[in-house]
Each structure stands twice: as C-alpha cells, then as structure tokens.
Structure 1
Amino acid sequence: MATSPSPMFDKILIANRGEIACRVIATCRRLGIASVAVYSDADRDARHVRLADEAVRIGPAPARESYLRGDALLAAAHATGAQAIHPGYGFLSENADFAEACSAAGIVFIGPPPAAIRAMGDKSAAKALMQRAGVPLTPGYHGDTQDPAFLREQADAIGYPVLIKASAGGGGKGMRKVEAADGFEAALAGCRREAQGAFGNAHVLVEKYVERPRHIEIQVFGDSHGNLVHLFERDCSVQRRHQKVLEEAPAPGMTGERRAAMGRAAVEAARAVGYVGAGTVEFIVSPQGEFWFMEMNTRLQVEHPVTEMITGTDLVEWQLRVAAGQPLPLRQEQLAIRGHAIEARLYAENPDNGFLPSTGVLRHLRFPDMDAHVRVDAGVDAGDAMTAHYDPMIAKLVAWGADRDDALRRLRQALDRCRLVGVSSNAGFLRRLLDTASFSQAHLDTALIEREHEALSAPAAAGDAQWMMAALALLQAAAAATAGPADPHSPWDIQDSWRMTGPAARRLWLECDGRRRLVAATPRGDRDWLLALDDAAALPAALSHEGTRLRLRLGDRQYRAEAILDGDTVHIFEAGRSQAFSLHDPVAEADQPPGQDGGLAAPMPGRIVALLAGIGVKLARGTPLLVLEAMKMEHTLQAPADGIVRSFRVREGELVAEGAALVEFEPAEMP
C-alpha cells in the first residue's frame, strides 16, 4: 500500500460548486493537478470559479439545466482535456448513469463503480442486500409496492411513530416522521413531491421510528486492489428536519467493542457491493447501543473534515489516488484516532423565521483565522450572492482539540469570531446550540434540538449598552463621511454639535428586533459623551475604537464589541451574538403610503408546489396555507392569524419572486 508521490492526473474537472468544489481545487493545487471549474449563470463569479485554473459555463441557473446535465459536463471535460471528473456531493455524485457515461467517454469518474451506486442508491434494494450480508436492519417495509393504502397498512402494522423516506434520497429531503395514522397520507404526499423534485424518483420506504436514536456513521474506503478500511465513526445526531447541523468524531461514549462491531458491519456492507472509493455507512443507534443499517452514501460526505482531522488524512487526495488505480495509502492497523473534532454548518437562513433560507449579497464576511486547531471550508467570499437556486451553505467551521471539551471550546471561539452581514445566518443559533446542556454534556440524539427548544430560542433583547454603542457608531460614521479637510481654527470644521447655548444632543431613533428606542447623545470632547435612552437621565460615557472594535465605558462598567456598518444599519457583534440596529427616520415613515394588510408574501424566490387551504373557510393561526419549494426544500407557509383565505394570487407550479403576493388573507375571530 505504498503511496506514489507522482501526480495521478494532469487535469481534473470538478462537476460541482460551493465549498466542496473549492476543497477539491485546493487539493488538486497541492498535488500539482490542474483544475477545471464548471458554473451556471448564477455562479459566473462564484468563488470556485475564481479559484480554478479554468472554468466552463454549462447552462442557466436552475440545476436541472446546468449542474445536473451530464452531457454538458462531459462536453466541458472533453473541451478542456480533463482526464477525470470529481462529482463532489449532491447533484450527479450518486448517479450511476452519469458514472457509466464518463466511462464510455473515456473519462475517469472519481467515485465508486456504477453497480455499487445502483445497489446503494435504491434504499429498498440496499436494505435487502444488507439483510443477505448479515448487516442488522431497522424494522420496516422496503419493498416495491407503492400504493398509498398498502403503505398505510404497512405503517399501521409497524406501529407509530414511523418514518417515511425517499428510496433514492439523502440529506433529509423526502423524509417525514409520522406520529399517528391520521397524518400518514399528507406526509406521504409531501415526501413524494419532495423526492420527485430532488431526485426524480418518488419511491419511498417506511420504517419504524426509533425513539431518541443517535445517528452514527462509519467512513469507509476501498480501492481496486480489494483493500477495504474504515476510518472510524462520526456522530451526526444533532439534526434539524433530518439535516445534520453539528457533526463530531469520534462519537462520544463509543466503546472500543462497539466501534469494532460497527466498523466490521460497515466494511461488510461495502464489500457486499464491491465498493471502491469513499463511502459512508450510516446507522441508527438506540439508547441501549443496538445499531441498525440505515443507508450508504456512495460519495464523500459534507462532514468528512472531522474524520480527516482525527486521522490526519486527506480524503480527497485518497479519492484521486484510488481513482488513478493506486492502492489505499494506509492499512487498517495504521489508522488511529487522535483527539476530537466538531463541525458546525454555517447556513444563510433565519432561525427566528422557521429557518427559511436567506438570499442576498454577503456585504461583509470574515471567518476566524485558520491554524492547526481551526479549519474553515467556505464556498463564498465577501461580495458573493446567496441565491435561491442552490443549497444555502456558507461554510463549515471545524475545530480540533486534544479532547471533546477542548474542541468544543475552540469551536465556540471560532463562531464568536465570524462576522457576516448581508443575509441572515444561523451563527447565533449554532453558538447557543453548543452551549446547551445536552450538547455540552454529550447527551446526544436526533431530537436534541427539539428538546432544547427553550435554550435555543431567540436571545434576550439588546441591553442599554448595545443601543448606545450602536448610536455612537452611527454618529461616528456620519461624521467621518461628511468630514473634509479640517481647519483647526475654523468653527465650521468642528463637528461637536456646539451651539451658542452649549453642545446640542443628537437624537437618534433606532430599531432592533422590532423594538424602537430613542438615544440622545451629547458630545463633551473627543471621546466623552452624555448618553440618554428614551429620555431617561443622561449618563457619562466614553467611547474608544480601533478600526471596527469598540470599547464603551458607561459609568463604572466597560463593554467591548465590534461594529460593522451597512448603510443606515450597524451590526454589533459581542460575546457570541450579533444584533442589527437600524436608523429610523420618523419623517420618512410619515411620507410613506399606508401598507396593504391581510396579505401573505413570498419570503424567498421559489416555486408553488401545493395550495392547501380552502377559500372562504375560517382557519386557525398556524394552519398550513401553501407549500413553497426553494433551495431544494419544501417550506410550508402558515396562516399568520385566525382568519379566512379570500383568494390565492398564485397557481400550483408557478415561479414567484421574493416579496410576491401569495394569499389574500382576512383576519377574523374563530367561533
């Protein structure tokens, strides 16, 4: 298993986007391999395009017209002379037809054989294969019959709660937990719609839902010489809507005996399909330690960095070497666990609004410095746009430590150092999640987020000091913007609000989290102020700053924060949280025409999947009204209050822009 030091390919095309494309490009550069990026119209100026040695346009923004077009990808490979295609994850990474098309075109597909992809791509067939191989399975129905009444009978026989899963799916798409029989049909319909849209296959399976399970997966790797190894486990239990939020390796509380048993089962699962390349065997683990095969992902996983950090490997490099026909770089006995690593997925989404994806331009973006303990895999830079066409991931933050507590401390610090302005993000939510009792004490299961709902809810309102810092930051910015060449002898160049009767107070109305407050700031020197909130008694204050970093002395207390300005809004970052304070103009508000009440607008661009409510029927607040598909997921929009839907302003299948009127809704009291 000796590793060859020579490059295995001259040029590789990366058939993906975002952080995985950037990661593959970086590995290629380190190995002296030329990289070719592909891009849609929405990604013309994306980070992976800027990093690659070459880039080729493959189509319009929708993935089905660009990144999912195998013919366009092969044409790009031929045009640039690429010898191999790395599919990343998602898109065509688990498409057996595309893998076969690459082979037929004389291009190496950097992934497993098509037969292995097919065997594991259909979850029902994969479970039958695993049963024959002796791998333990979760009780459920994995057959071909898809009649809704029959599937309902199977669910009734299994016993509720059950889990409906897209047979061809992954990433939490096409998956619903069903608590009772009366919710089965609606959940089944939603799963099938989402599965058809995401994977082109509406086939589902039904399994027993294991209460308080852990989601533990084993990284496996095989080569074309018959060698198979596992690189230990990752705990991916912390999930929201079946999508992973935090991942760590090794799994807390894992015994050596169970690790060995799960590793053997994973290797046998891979061996059963003649596996070559990187793959992940995923298991459901009960609180008692029983484990059952769930699925195998025949690709590299988003969370692979935690495995790399505890094993000292580069799994992308392993992929390239194995695809070139080289043996695995290490044998099983040469692999060992060193320390602990935790990964957090930073998304453009709004946790305070049902985690709806957020679109816009990243006007300010700064990550923590990387070193031996902290790694950032990013797919975007400051100035890039987050669109509704693709997954809303901004970056992955990974921290390594000598043990779990050390890794957790470093990840907290890494999140505290993130600075993001332009779109909503889950950074604050992730920070609170790390601090929950369940996660910090490693009491893990897939319901952790729901169980810690109170601790994860929006943080307390901004304190007085934050309002004052925001006001002073805005005043300083305004003064800097209007300052010209200063004449120290001219009263016109002194910006201290001086009046004949003494310094005048600057009164600023600010808004934050739906709250509006008045800050009166009276200068008393270069750094000293008198500050009053909401016409209360003024307090002496002093503000010093170094770049964007502020220090406010208010009475006997001092506060430190960082202020990032974005137009008339200032973002205050302090102690692991951020808040946006906007300058409010009461005069401008008075000039605005009255708004239209009773409407429901699209929170993001997307496609109308289903209209759920009846016209003219009284509905309770929270009743589902319609389903909007955006960023590859379905989002159910609900009644904002008790009331009546007077009309829908959209049709099923219609594409809508952000802010488009969807529903004419009239609030009304329920009987």
Structure 2
Amino acid sequence: MSGPKNAVLTSVMIANRGEIACRVMRTAKAMGLTTVAVHSATDRNARHVREADIAVDLGGSKAADSYLQIDKLIAAAKSSGAQGIHPGYGFLSENAGFARAVEQAGLIFLGPPASAIDAMGSKSAAKALMETAGVPLVPGYHGEAQDPATFREAAARIGYPVLLKATAGGGGKGMKVVERDEDLADALASAQREALSSFGDSRMLVEKYVLKPRHVEIQVFADQHGNCLYLNERDCSIQRRHQKVVEEAPAPGLSPELRQAMGEAAVRAAQAIGYVGAGTVEFLLDARGEFFFMEMNTRLQVEHPVTEAITRLDLVAWQIRVAQGEPLPITQEQVPLRGHAIEVRLYAEDPANEFLPATGRLEIYRESAKGPGRRVDSGVSEGDEISPFYDPMLGKLIAWGEDREQARLRLLSMLDEFAIAGVRTNLAFLRRIIAHPAFAEAELDTGFIPRYQSELLPPAQVLGDEFWHVAAQAFHLSSAAVERTDDLHSPWSTGSGLRMGLPNEVDLHLSCGQDSRTVKLRAQETHGVRLSGDQISIRHDGLSRQTTAIRRSDTLYLRWDGEMHAIHRFDPIAEADASHTEQGGLSAPMNGSIVRVLVAVGEQVEAGTPLVVLEAMKMEHSVRANRTGVVSALYCAEGEMVSEGTVLISIED
C-alpha cells in the first residue's frame, strides 16, 4: 500500500464500479468509513452509486472517458474529501502511473506500491523476475520488440499452439490462442487492440499453450513492516474464452507439501519486490504436480471470497488496515483452512452464441436467499440497464461447506433459487457445470468446458405441450382482469371461460421466442394447480412440481428446465402481418461500437469471411459472412455505435 505509516483513514473512494465497488463499500461502512463512489454518465443510477455515501460524476460513457481518466479520479477524491482510493480490480488497479498519481496527490492508494506494480504488473517483467529466482517458466517470449516478425519467430521456436497475452492486463482481455502461423498476424493485431482498449497498453507476450493444465493461484498478503504470508490457494481451472467461470478453495487434491512449495515461492516473489497489500501469484499445474509461474496480479482478485470463506478473514478490511500502517494480525502458522468454498461468476452473456455479451434491462432479478454458507456479491438490482461499455459480470454466488460436496450441493440450491429475466445470462450454464459428474469428481483442468461442451451447451430445448399448459395455467391464475366491477359475483366478472351448456374454456394465445401456441384451457385443468406468490405448483398423477412464475402485465417469466422463459400474450389477428425478415442482411449480435469494417461494397466474400469487427464490453467480436456472395450494401462505419439487431451489411448471391 502506498501511503505513510500510521495514516488514519476516515473516508475511502472506490475508483471502480459494479460488484467490486459494492463489496468494498460494505466492509468500509462496517469499519465506520465514509464511502465515495465515482461513476460515468451511463452509470449515473447504478447500484454502487446508490449505495455510496457520496457520488462523483466523471462524465463520459466508455471507460476510456471515465474510469480510466486518472486526473478525473484524483479530482473526485479531493472534491469529496476522500483520503484513500481503493482501485478494485480491472480498470486502473494494476496501473503504476495511477498509483504514483494517488501518492503524489497526498492520498493513500489501497494497492501495492507503484514499484511493485512496475515489477509484477507487467507479465514480461514478472517472468524475468521468476526466472532469476529459479521458478520454472512456461517457454515463451517476453521481450520488448512487438512487431509481428518477432512474434512469428518466437511462435515457430516454441511450437504451435501458442497463447498471446497482454502484458498489462488480465480477465481474458487481450488474450488469443493461435493454432497456425497464418492466423498469427490477425490474432496479434486484435489482441493488441483489446489490450489498448482495456488497459491503455498494447504490449504482448507469447508463450507455449500448455495442454490440460490446472490453473492454481496463491493468495499472498504483505504489510509495511516486511511481513508476508500466503492464505492458501484457489483452483480456477474452469474457464471460457480464457476467463475464469468457477473458482474454489482449497484446490482439490493438492497435497500439503505442494501447497507449501507453491505458497513459499509466491511469498519469495512478493518479498523480492517489496510488495505490500493483497496480491495473487498464478501458476499452471500439470498432472505430474509440477508448477509453472504464469503471472502476478497486483490487486484483489475477483475470486477472493472463496479465500475469505475458508479462512474467515475479510481481505478488504486487511487492505484498509495495512494501508494505515498496521501489521498483519496473524503469522503463517496461524492461517486457517476450514472446509471448502466454490464460487461461480454470473455474466450477462449468451452461452449458446459463443458467450457473446448481452445487454438490456433486468426485468427480473431475484438473488438466492442468504444464510450460513451462502453469499452473493453483486452490483446490480432489478430494473437496471446492462450497457455495452463495461465487463458483463453481474455478480458472484459463493457457497461454503464442511467439505467440497456440501459446498457443491449448497451452490446448486442457490443457482436454483436465482431468477433473472430480460437479459440473457449464463445462469443455466453455471448450473450444468456444478451438477456435472466430472465436476463432482473434481476432474478439473482448463479444457473442462470444451471437453464437455455437448452436455454443458446442449441444443435449444423444444418447448413441449406441458410447458405451454403450465404457462397457460400460470397466466390464468395470475390474471387480475375483471370484466365487470358492478357485480363481482356475476359469472361474467371473471375470465373463467364460462359458456352456457358447454365446458368452461379459455383460449390463450401465447408466444415464447420464435414459437407460439394457442392453448385451450378448461376449468377442470386448473384443479391441482396452485399459484402462491411467484411459485406455481402443479400436481399430476400423485406428483407435485414447483417452479418460478412471475407475471408482469401480459408477460410471464417462467422457469423451465433451468432456463427462465419470457412468455407473452398476443392478438393473433393483429400480429398476423407483423412479421418480416431481412433478406441477406447480417445484424449486430449485441450493442457495441464498430472498430473495423473489413470489406467494401462490390467485394466478393466466402462463407466465414470476417466482415465487421464489433467491440462490446472490452472484447472484440467478428461478424462473419453466412454464405458466399457479394457485399451489396454497408450500413455501418468505423467508430459508430450500433444496437443489437441493427443490420450492418447485406450480401447478395
């Protein structure tokens, strides 16, 4: 932590947003500190702003115009009276220039010294330091030259496949796996653009892509008095697009001897650079028990709650106390290790569409009930808008148990209770991972998701008759429509489908996604069906089934086979001629900005050819030709913001 020893903090500004801002504020408030939030124009009504004691508007929409503006952040701290700045993770949390600016402004940086960020914040510098210390490294190139020829030569030397990584970042941003020499140049250019957009630094390194590794990291913590210890380890092997999805502590199957060897190596690395505060040293662990240094993250990690769960320690409170000059409260021998904890990251994204980020309004957002061994860290609330400008993580679900299986089952229960609608998420995907037999057996490595892809990402389910009948019954039971108010006992005052001399019957015209159905609901079919609050119970053949059903006007949100479906009532006559299709048009898969247009009108393209590169939530996504043809029209330009579904380009045969 940069700042004078024995400094006294009464007010802390969090230079971040979302769930980490809310999480830091929770501890700061518990310690009696005044909390200050900063926000962009987009985040003016965000949850972290609502929960802060003071909020400062940075202006702008993109991170580059707000959360990455050092001068604006320093000015915000001074105007609000904050004495210290917590950087959270992402954004400027590993930016040495930001740490220096905070210190030069006479403020306390609740992160490591700038010198430590310089030494370990750069993946290249960190690998050089580890090489000097004798820690095994994955073969690669970590030099200063950044031209394509240098990377091509290095990749040829270490052998494909290779992994390109941003030297200044993390979280999967600026990271590409390259299988062939002919793909290297384009992958390098794209990774450099992502790195520059996310971290303000386009420098890259390349290393051998190790097959079937485990990703095991060590949490270290150091004070201003030269004390440093490790708080056990975490397994973060289950990843998608090189970004962690599931994390747990301790790492299953890790022997005490290996834990000690990795922990002591991590502490040596931290002490070698005079590290202060919370940091994480990340390793690749192969099946033989050999570990290779990857990088050091000089900040608090997203997955720190699992470490807190097994140690019963508050790492943010430690950060605040260490920044004020206090020594670490325990020794290495006193570090607890109790039970097991598992965390999943909840993202606004579409797993069925290559995990593309999703945007929109959170029409439904109901978190799992809190209780012993249950924790939810989130940064959103029902009704919030999810924008395309920032990371798509909504929050995290953390479960603790006396052993791994108890934690796993508890997490499954939490996932079943969670309800989200209005924005596509990975909620059902997460449940499939945690419920998978291989995960239950702790068969963990970074290839877990690709290996079981067919089971974790099954084809879209066909909605059968039972689904439509339950939806119709939920609509009927939740209907508040009253046709007459002068005589509530009249048979005409309800929509019961009363017909003289005929069975009571109601026709409900329902649609869900691209499917629609007319359901004839008879009065006797509602017997055995009960709606209580947001839960509908269906009894059939002696069995009772219960699921979530939330009614909003003419929309019903119904959980079915783990997925939340939005079902609408419609007028079939009014909508008979409303449908239309775009002929030959390719649309934006999400809200975002156009960073590159790769073709021109009149150009012939093959199926699969990249046409437009779209940036959303700090990641680049290519829109590719869906067939061979000729580009007949362009409807977008570089730098333009587009909405999901907007036609970008047309192709004719």
Q: Is the pair's TM-score, using the shorter chain for normalization, greater than 0.5?
A: yes
1:36 matches 2:36:
yes
Tell me whether 1:308 sits opposite 2:308 in the alignment. Answer: yes
Are residue 325 (structure 1) and residue 325 (structure 2) matched? yes
SS across alignment from 2:559: strand
Aligned-residue offset at 1:162: 0.9
Alignment partners' CA distance in 2, 1:229 and 1:261: 13
1:635 paired with 2:621, answer: yes
Question: What displacement does 1:590 show?
Answer: 2.1
Calculate the TM-score normalised by the size of structure 2.
0.95
C-alpha contact 1:7 1:32 (8 A) present in aligned 2? no
Q: Does 1:583 align with 2:569?
A: yes
Say if 2:462 is the partner of 1:461: yes
- Give 1:608's match in structure 2, choosing from 594, 610, 617: 594
3-state SS of paired residue (1:75)? helix
SS at match of 1:42: coil
Q: Contact 1:462–1:579 at 8 Å: present in 2 too? A: no
Aligned to 1:103: 103
Aligned to 1:474: 475
Q: Which amino acid aligns with 1:414?
A: M
- Whether the 8 Å CA contact 2:146–2:203 is kept in 1: the answer is yes
Shift of 1:52: 1.2
C-alpha distance in 1, partners of 2:415/2:627?
A: 36
Task: Go from structure 1 to structure 2 and tell me whether the alpha carbon gap of 1:482 and 1:599 turns closer, same or farther (over 3 Å shift).
Answer: farther
Map 1:78-227 onto structure 2 (within 5 A): 78-227=78-227
Give the aligned residue type for 1:447: G
- Identify which of 584, 587, 594 aligns with 1:598: 584
Q: Which residue of 2 aligns with 1:236?
A: 236
Q: Which whole-Å deviations, capped at 9, do the CAs of 1:59-114 have from their partners, x for residues lacking one?
A: 12211111111111111211121111111111111111111111111100011000
Out of 658, 662, 668, the residue aligned to residue 644 of structure 2 is: 658
Per the alignment, in what secondary structure is the counterpart of residue 589 of structure 1?
A: coil
Does the aligned pair in 2 maintain the 1:8–1:320 contact within 8 Å?
no
Counterpart of 2:21 in 1: which secondary structure?
helix
Letter in 2 for 1:279: G
Q: Which letter does structure 2 place at the counterpart of 1:355?
A: F
Confirm or deny: 8 A CA contact 2:68 2:91 kept in the other structure. yes
Pair 556,643 (structure 1): closer, same or farther in 2 beyond 3 Å: farther
Distance 1:613 1:260 in 2: 55
Q: Counterparts of 1:413 and 1:420 in 2: how far apart (Å)?
A: 15
**Which is worse superposed, 588-597 or 232-241?**
588-597
Cα distance in 1 between the residues matched to 2:174 and 2:86: 26
Name the CA shift for 1:523/1:323 in 2 (closer, same or farther; >3 Å): same
CA contact (8 A) 2:165 2:206 kept: yes
- Deviation (angstroms), 1:574: 4.6
Where 1:663 maps in the other structure, the secondary structure is strand
C-alpha distance in 2 between matches for 1:625 and 1:509: 40
Q: Give CA-to-partner distance per residue, 1:110-144, whole Å, 9 cap, x none.
A: 11000001111221122111211222211111111
Q: How does 1:405-484 map to 2 (within 5 A)?
A: 405-458=405-458, 460-477=461-478, 479-482=479-482
SS at match of 1:368: coil
SS in 1 for 2:480: helix
Q: Is the 8 A contact 1:606 1:657 kept in 2?
A: yes
Deviation of 1:42 after TM superposition, in Å, equals: 1.2
Which amino acid in structure 2 is aligned with residue 602 of structure 1?
A
Is residue 2:530 matched to residue 1:544? Answer: yes
Q: How far 1:264 moved relative to its partner?
A: 0.9
- The code of the aligned residue for 1:190 comes to S
Give the TM-score normalised by structure 1. Answer: 0.92
1:584 CA displacement: 4.2
Greater CA deviation, 487-496 or 342-351?
487-496
Structure-2 change in CA distance of 1:55 and 1:489 (3 Å): closer
Q: For the residues of structure 1 that align with 2:522 and 2:355, how far apart are their CA atoms? A: 41
Structure 2 gaps, min length 5: 1-5
Match status 1:17 vs 2:17: yes
Amino acid at match of 1:445: D
Q: Distance in 2 between matches of 1:243 and 1:86?
A: 23
Distance across 2 between alignment mates of 1:274 and 1:588: 71
Partner of residue 610, structure 2: 624
Displacement of 1:237 after TM fit? 0.6
- Classify the secondary structure of the residue corresponding to 1:586: coil
Q: What is the DSSP-based 3-state SS (H/G/I as helix, E as strand, rest coil) of the residue aligned with 1:296?
A: strand
Aligned 1:471-550 pairs, distance under 5 A: 471-477=472-478, 479-482=479-482, 485=485, 487=487, 489-524=489-524, 528-529=525-526, 542-550=528-536
Corresponding residue number in structure 1 for 2:3:
none
Check 1:362–1:489 CA distance in 2 against 1; reply closer, same or farther (3 A cut): closer
Say which is worse superposed, 509-518 or 169-178, in terms of deviation. 509-518
Determine helix, strand or coil for the equivalent of 1:629.
strand
1:278-318 residue CA offsets vs partner (Å, 9 max, x unmatched): 00101111122211111111000000000000011000000
Question: How far apart are 1:227 and its partner, in Å?
Answer: 0.2
Q: Identity across aligned pairs (percent)?
A: 53
SS of aligned partner of 1:588: coil
Partners in 2 of 1:483 and 1:17 — Cα distance? 48
Work out which of the residue numbers 571, 576, 579 in structure 1 matches 2:557. 571
Distance 1:87 1:489, change over 3 A: closer
What is the CA distance between 1:172 and its match in structure 2?
Answer: 0.7
Distance 2:372 2:542 in 1: 39
Distance (whole Å) between structure 2 residues aligned to residue 553 and residue 463 of structure 1? 18
CA contact (8 A) 2:481 2:495 kept: no
Would you say the 8 A contact 2:158–2:208 is kept in 1?
A: yes
- How far apart in 2 are the matches of 1:418 and 1:154? 47
Q: Which runs of 5+ in 1 are unaligned?
A: 1-5, 530-540
Q: What is the Cα-based RMSD across aligned positions, in Å?
A: 2.0
The match for 1:61 is 61
One-letter code aligned to 2:528 = A
Secondary structure of 1:455's aligned partner: helix
Q: Distance in 1 between matches of 2:289 and 2:489?
A: 79
Separation (CA, whole Å) in 1 of partners of 2:332 and 2:418: 38
Contact preservation (8 Å) 2:214, 2:235 = yes
Partner residue of 1:559 out of 521, 529, 545: 545
Report how far residue 604 of structure 1 moved: 2.3
Deviation at 1:235, TM superposition (A): 0.5
Any idea what SS the aligned residue of 1:307 has?
Answer: helix
User: Contact conserved, 1:38 with 1:57, CA < 8 A, in 2?
Assistant: yes
